[in-house]
Amino acid sequence: MTKKVRVRFAPAPTGTMHLGNIRTALINFIFARQKNGTFILRIEDTDPERNFDPSGTTIIEDLKWLDLMYDEGPGIGGPYAPYFQSERTILYEEKLKILQEKNLVYRCFCTQEELEKKCQRQRALKLPPRYDRTCLQLTKEEIDQFLAKKRLFVWRFKLNHHQTIEITDLAHGTVRFDLNNFSDFPLTRQNGSFTYLFANFVDDMVMQITHIFRGEDHLSNTAVQAALFSAFNRPLPIYWHMPILCNTDGKKLSKRDFGFSLRDLKEAGFIPEAINNYLAIIGGSFEKEIMSLATLIKTFNFDNLHTTGRITYDVEKLKWINRKWIDQYKPEELLQQCRPLLEAVYPTAKKIDDKKLNSLLQIIKTDMTTLNDCVSALAFYFEKPAISFADIAACINNKNMIIVSHIIKNNLSFLADATQFVDRLKQAAKQKNISLKELFWFVRLALMGTTKGPGIHELISMLGAQESQQRLKHALTILHTNQP
């Protein structure tokens, strides 16, 4: 019988979820759902210097916002609780003791300064920087002397440098590691806490994780953790070392790159459906690119994965996907998302009922790339546009200004019927032999302060005949006052 799939997302509680984190969580979630497995959240908080969000609140809220809910983890529990590494110290101590009994670890008393000097010397000799096992050669008497002096130490795992480790990677196939190329690595820190490498391994082993999906940059970690699985005579999980997300310069995404963190994208008005969609298809080839999470679960092919180490994060592609998803939003969904944004900028938005606001949003929806765009797209509705004669002159030929002025003025009374108003403008433009474009540009400029935007019918419908007439009259006044 095939063992039930168990995958985990194990971030550090730094307070910031970056896109690499999100993609890792997403891929694990998709795999678990596709294989009817279990998706686990485990908080790796063994390093106090990185714990800016000790309770993992941001991580949990972000996963919920993305609809990537876990089956075991903080707040939910599960058979392998607790799910914070800081609360699992006793377990790590037990496993360390087993390694001590097997004589597979030793105390290392080397200071950080001493280790750095060794590395510098090795680099100078053009040798790979590797721990030289100085402390492995210590006698019992020397060790006792160091302990008596209360000299700080770490426990290092003693690698078998004659061993070759093999792992199975979904993209790379069988990957072999010659342990002669790796250093004995620390399992503890000098303060007695456990390292990421060891705690991570113990939890994966104890929680019976069957598949581990993480970034390509963890490949070397996998080699030494595989050695630990071997030491405990336990089967290895199956891996996928996913390509690293890079910017357009080919460098790993950093805080300087827009969209590095989920917070950046949320504040910029990107929506969870689009973020999931983009991160799932990035670097791949899909016949249909706009897919819901449910569709991704059905269609994502884990049997045909790319082996490239890096893929480029393309903000413009993400914007395109976000725009497509906004266009698919049901009216009530868009209203729910945009109302708070509009009310935060325009207090009068609070007085507009849902029906009216919904009609406004549906008209400008196609102009929205992000949710935040509703604020700028509807600015003209909440605030009268400030236009100048220079604005008018930029869209109307000087010789046609008088004609445009007369046509608009003569048809203001027909604004109550937007269709009739537009039809009369078309007829007048033809009779006067002037560009209809100039007429429409002037009307749109008067109504919203720009020559680009919704159609004239929609603008009049949005603003109402009375407000439209006032704005057109104001624009005519500017034209008459400044006309030579």
User: Distance (Å, rounded) from C-alpha 286 to C-alpha 321?
Assistant: 13
Which residues touch 179 (CB under 8 Å, ≥6 apart)?
Answer: 159, 160, 161, 162, 163, 164, 165, 223, 227
DSSP assignment string, 2-54: PPPPEEEE-----S--BHHHHHHHHHHHHHHHHTT-EEEE-B----GGG-SST
Q: What is the pLDDT of residue 412?
A: 94
Q: What is the pLDDT of residue 1?
A: 38
Same CATH topology for 89-242 and 262-328? no
Nearest to 40 by CA among 68, 89, 7, 13: 7
Q: What is the pLDDT of residue 7?
A: 98
Q: Yes or no: say if 408 and 476 are a contact pair by the CB < 8 Å rule.
A: yes
DSSP structure class, residue 193: P
The CATH number of 389-482 is: 1.10.10.350
Rounded to two decimals, the pTM is 0.91
Compute the C-alpha angle 245/247/253, nearest 5°: 55
Nearest to 375 by CA among 329, 344, 330, 332: 344
What's the fold here for domain 89-242?
Answer: Rossmann fold (3.40.50)
Give me the phi and psi of 193, to 5 degrees please: -75, 165
- SS3 at position 156: strand
The residue ranges of every structural domain in the chain are 89-242, 262-328, 338-381, 389-482
Torsion of CA 148, 151, 155, 158, to 10 degrees: -80
Q: 262-328 sits in which CATH class?
A: mainly alpha
Q: Which amino acid is located at 217 in the chain?
A: D
Tens digit of each residue's pLDDT, the chain (484 residues): 368 999 999 998 887 888 999 999 999 999 999 999 999 999 998 877 766 777 889 999 999 999 999 999 999 999 999 999 999 999 999 999 999 999 999 999 999 898 899 888 888 888 888 899 999 999 999 999 999 999 999 999 999 999 999 999 999 999 999 999 999 999 999 999 999 899 999 999 999 999 999 988 888 889 999 999 999 999 999 999 998 888 888 888 887 888 788 999 999 999 999 999 999 999 887 889 999 999 999 999 998 887 777 888 999 999 999 999 999 999 999 999 999 999 999 999 999 999 999 999 999 999 999 999 999 999 999 999 999 999 999 988 888 899 999 999 999 999 999 999 999 999 998 998 988 898 999 999 999 999 888 999 999 999 999 999 999 999 999 988 876 5
DSSP assignment string, 269-325: T--HHHHHHHHHHTTS--S-----HHHHHHH--TTS----SEEE--HHHHHHHHHHH
Q: Yes or no: say if 197 and 229 are a contact pair by the CB < 8 Å rule.
A: no
Q: Which amino acid is located at 330 in the chain?
A: K
Place of tokens 């006044």: 477
* 300-314 b/e (C-beta count within 10 Å ≥ 16 → b): bebeebeeebebebe
Q: Yes or no: say if 184 and 157 are a contact pair by the CB < 8 Å rule.
A: yes
* 426-447 b/e (C-beta count within 10 Å ≥ 16 → b): eebbeeeebeeebbbbbbbbbb
- SS3 at position 471: helix
Q: Sheet of 211-215: strands edge to edge?
A: 173-178, 164-169, 238-242, 211-215
Q: Is the dihedral of CA 311, 313, 314, 317 positive or negative?
A: positive
Q: Is the dihedral of CA 374, 379, 381, 382 positive or negative?
A: positive
Q: What is the pLDDT of residue 51?
A: 60
Query: Residues 91-94: contacts with CB within 8 Å, 24+ apart?
Result: 91/202, 91/206, 92/194, 92/198, 92/199, 92/202
Q: Which amino acid is located at 244 in the chain?
A: I
DSSP assignment string, 407-445: HHHHHGGGTTSHHHHHHHHHHHHHHHT--HHHHHHHHHH
Q: Which amino acid is located at 36 in the chain?
A: N
Q: What is the pLDDT of residue 258?
A: 81
Strand-pairing partners, residue 166, are 176
